[in-house]
Amino acid sequence: MKAKQMVGSLVVLSMLGSTLAACSKEAAPPAKSNVPSEADLLKEPVTLVFKSQFDDNMEKFNERYGDRIRAKFPNVTVKFLPREKDLDIRELVAAGTYPDIMYGNTSQIDQFLVETGLAYDMTELIKKYNYDLNRFEPALLDNLRNVSAPGTLYGLPMPWGGAQLLYYNKALFDRFGVPYPKDGMTWDETYELAKKVTRVNGDETYRGFSSFISAVLRDNQLSLPYLDPKADKMADNEKWKRLFTNLSRFYEITGNNRDTKNRSQNTESQAFEKGNVAMQINQFNKFPAFPPNLDWDMASIPIFADGPKVGSQAASNYWFITKTNQHKDISFQIIKYLLSDELQLEAAKSDATLPSLKLGSVNLEVLGQNVPALKGKHTKAVYYYAPAPAMPRREANLPGADPNVLKTTMEEAFNRVVIDKLDVNSALREASEKFDKAAAEKKNSSK
């Protein structure tokens, strides 16, 4: 009997102990989070210095970003360093001036971030704040990942306006009684259409086609890089030959060749604005340069008949937090705010920029809604196709070459074909030799 009472007492004590322990756990204060609240971040006065890779002046920066940041984060003093002639970011850093937040594209990421020691992997902040990267269009993230150090992410994608499409001059199509271009056309169909609207009437020449050659080659639909991902040599020669042959045939149409006296890519890019070119492949952000009397519209970029059914690669810009930034938490919150759905859709309406958000996740019918020049225009052409996948990552041990040298080399190779009438194989061979030289110079400079 006593034994049974003792067992019963032990059970009661055990249950009581468990209850007390449970109460103790419930009463214990929550573990202090290392993630500061927004209220905490708004308490401390902070000065942040912004720097752009581009020619943005103070007025433009404030209109797009500065004034919004000051309104949302009143404790932040925003300073902006406009580009000064003959004073680039490397010289600023050498003089002891360190930006906190920067924005730019991937073409100069080495000079802009890596060589200055400003590159910072934002992965830690992304994890700290449980920030969802799946909201972004994957190609935009991959573009940056593939030029960042392995396993790192130096920035987050901004809205972008560089999607390529087919502009067309409605007045010329009407004049010649030819149907307008339409979404979903192939390059072959576009070529046949270009022949129909290329006319030479006495001293008047009406070109059927022109293009911003630099962007078409650089952001090509085949996701083809300049350099081989696994070697310091030109990437797949046969694919480059395909790109050159596809585009150069338009310039072989009688009466349709570009200005042969001026080799500048900008000269060819600006040809459509003059009113005597029927079609042009160019970026969406080109339209503000069109004169008010130009009667134009747009269709989707042509695709190769055998695929892939994609647009151009995404020519996006990115927000970067620098390694030297002493206020990374609030800087990350500012970037989060600037990349919010609300602000990106507002920019889509008023600035005619494509959100960096995943295609289909937001209503893009609002694109350019508040832009007078886009009233009645077929803006669906801008996002008719998803952007082409990012170019493949190069192996980490390869120094590569200056991307701007590679870009201008390939542009000149194309000029050699359409202006100098050199065959495509010879032009690419010349470019390949220059690529080898550029890669060797980069390798020697990095020793």
pLDDT of the residue at 10: 34
225 has a pLDDT exceeding 80: yes
pLDDT by residue (tens digit) across 244-281?
Answer: 999 999 999 999 999 888 888 899 999 999 999 999 99
Regarding predicted confidence, which is higher, 85 or 426? 426
Q: Given pLDDT bands bounded at 50, 70 and 90, which one contains residue 447?
A: low
* Residues 166-182, mean pLDDT to the nearest whole number: 98
Helix or strand run (H / E) with residue 77 = strand 76-81
Cα separation, 418 vs 402, in Å, equals 25
Q: Which two tokens stand for residue 364?
A: 């893009």
Task: Report percent pLDDT > 70 for the chain.
Answer: 91
Which range (13-17, 21-25, 131-135, 266-270) has the least confidence?
A: 13-17
CATH number of 40-161+315-368: 3.40.190.10
pLDDT of the residue at 1: 41
Architecture of domain 164-313+399-445: 3-Layer(aba) Sandwich (3.40)
Cα separation, 50 vs 83, in Å, equals 11
* Residues 193-197, mean pLDDT to the nearest whole number: 98
Q: Which regions of 144-274 does DSSP assign to beta strands (E)?
A: 155-157, 164-169, 199-201, 204-206, 210-211
25 has a pLDDT exceeding 60: no
Cβ 343 vs Cβ 68: under 8 Å: yes
Cα separation, 333 vs 322, in Å, equals 14
13 has a pLDDT exceeding 70: no
As a whole number of Å, the end-to-end CA separation of the chain is 89
Cα separation, 332 vs 153, in Å, equals 13
pTM of the predicted protein model = 0.88
pLDDT of the residue at 201: 85
What are the DSSP calls for 291-310, one per residue? -TT--EEEEEPPB-TTS---
Give the domain ranges of the chain.
40-161+315-368, 164-313+399-445
Q: Given pLDDT bands bounded at 50, 70 and 90, which one contains residue 397?
A: confident
Cα separation, 138 vs 230, in Å, equals 23
Cα separation, 379 vs 369, in Å, equals 10
pLDDT of the residue at 2: 38
* Residues 35-64, mean pLDDT to the nearest whole number: 89
* Residues 310-327, mean pLDDT to the nearest whole number: 96
pLDDT by residue (tens digit) across 342-387?
Answer: 999 999 999 999 999 998 899 999 999 999 999 999 999 999 999 9
Return the HEC string of 424-443: HHHHHHHHHHHHHHHHHHHH
SS3 385: coil
Q: Given pLDDT bands bounded at 50, 70 and 90, which one contains residue 27?
A: very low
312 has a pLDDT exceeding 60: yes
Which range (24-38, 70-84, 297-311) has the least confidence?
A: 24-38
26 has a pLDDT exceeding 60: no
pLDDT of the residue at 15: 39
pLDDT of the residue at 33: 60
Same-fold call for 40-161+315-368 versus 164-313+399-445? yes
Cα separation, 317 vs 304, in Å, equals 27
403 has a pLDDT exceeding 90: no
Regarding predicted confidence, which is higher, 447 or 35? 35
Q: Given pLDDT bands bounded at 50, 70 and 90, which one contains residue 110?
A: confident
pLDDT by residue (tens digit) across 118-152?
Answer: 999 999 999 999 999 999 999 999 999 998 989 99
17 has a pLDDT exceeding 50: no
3 has a pLDDT exceeding 70: no
The rounded mean pLDDT for the chain is 90
Which range (40-44, 316-320, 380-384) has the least confidence?
A: 40-44
pLDDT of the residue at 252: 96
